[in-house]
Chains A and B, each alone.
Chain A
Amino acid sequence: MTRRPPISLAVAATVGVAFLVLPLVGLLVKAPWSDLPSLVTSPEARTALRLSLECSFGALALALITGVPLAWLLARRDFPGKALVRALVTVPLVLPPVVGGVALLFAFGRRGIFPLHIAFTTWAAIAAEAFVAMPFLVLAVEGALTSLDQRYEDVAGTLGAGPLTTFRRVTLPLVGPGLAAGAALAWARALGEFGATITFAGNLPGSTQTLPLHVYLQLQSGHPDAAVAASVLMLAVSILVLVALRGRWRVSRS
């Protein structure tokens, strides 16, 4: 017999679920299903979608290339200022994205301290998304590495595998689930990024206007149907990519 939960907790939990699900229901109910094909294939929507995919995967690549080694260092080596570095990694999690965008502007903008001349370009959109997405990846991978028995890496070493081979053939496969989860979260966060992008990269159709910006613009300029259609599109893309990522992970394990 299953034990029944206390009624007060059950009620609160139900309200919580409704709060999470009802907005999605609203989106799906209000979606202009008959006009949807033409709305999501409009040139603006398609451009925004293409740009969103490019930027979010670009940001994920940036986060992977720099974040995985960072996570490894945090989990496996002691170095001066490690606690500070770990705290800094989590800053983008709590920082309002707009503030992140302003910070990026004054770091890498035209008059920034490291002027890269990328502000208001697609690179800026990628950088903004990587900035907010990176902590998800680093924290997930560091957690996976910390809970990984270090003897596997030690044994690999005594079996003639150098540090890079060990990382590739032992560490990566064993932290795979954590890495996949971190990558999925980071990518989803990058896909939905709004505040830092619009601040650092602007809202230029074709080069920095990603889907979230597109949705906002359509809503503001009196085209709610286009906004809802683009939102449904983003919902579909997110679910699709998450499912695909999961599937790929399964195949590589067998």
Chain B
Amino acid sequence: MAEIRIENLHKSFASFVAVRDSNFTVRNGDFFCLLGPSGCGKTTTLRMIAGLELPTSGRILLGDEDVTFKQASARDIAFVFQLFALYPHMNVRANISYPLRSQGMARDEVRRRVEEAAKTLRITHLLDRPVSGLSSGDRQRVALGRAIVREPLCFLMDEPLGALDAEFRELMCGELRALHDRLGATTVYVTHDQLEAMSMADTIAVMNQGLIEQLGSPREIYDRPASLFVADFIGSPPMNLLPFRGKVGHGDRHVRLNGVAVEVPEIHDNAGEGDLVLGVRPEHVQLTDDGAYRARVVESEYLGTTQIVTLAAADGNGLKARLPADTAVRAGDQVGLAFHAGKLSLFDAQSGRALRTRLHAEAARG
């Protein structure tokens, strides 16, 4: 098992910069997600770690070894791709054992490792079956088996669940995380699906246009997004972003949101008169008759436990609230809104960065 260190990693394709001076460390045993929209550089980063792309500049260390210019085959890693490429003419056992047999490993050892991998993945009963008749989930388990049987230093996974339908993805997310907990192997996992990242990762790096916008635990990224991009990318529905003009200073506990005073976590930052954005998660919006921030109910979407209510505020902002499913709301209702003061975020619209508040100070103190 090993730590992966990325130092000033940079990759350009002609004039296009795919990855910009990236620096991060994947701790030994970490489940690390590179998360972002398509084209953000997450797959390129992963492919450089694997040795499938060479960086334009920078270094990659696997354990203590500099592997930047080593061939993929000389790096002790296993790569799991989105589309499970199995050998259709071989049975499950032959598919899983292939990487070992091609290394010339002794037969007894191959058998032992394959059976151990199959047990870990709970597919022992399928070992002598042809792969052609397997369900997509079982095929994915076989593909994983082929990766874990090598007992590599780390796993690299490129959207391995992307091709599965939603229900199955949820199940496989749980299995992948449980597998990680059993093996304890360092894993770098690429996805564009924030829910996958939130549910599996110890650490998430949110990427945008070749840059890491934020690196932290799922909870940090959700509760204290470092930028407007992260705030908008994480959460379903994402954070409500309400623009307003104003200025704030150290120690302020209120902002004026288009004429309405809103209590916020104590601000530990300064921003002169300019364009600001108040960030409110949908579950931190409540409906109250006497709320000064007025809105009209546009639509309510039932989700079982909760409902998502789409609102059009009097100041022209659109927002969404997550409310208990038994709260009665009707399209057209005029309502007042209240926000959960202790949970709000503030951003500078120009730079897109979050303003520091009491929440950051508390997190730093732990």
Partners in one complex: no
Which B residues are closer than 8 A to A by beta carbons? none
Which A residues are closer than 8 A to B by beta carbons? none
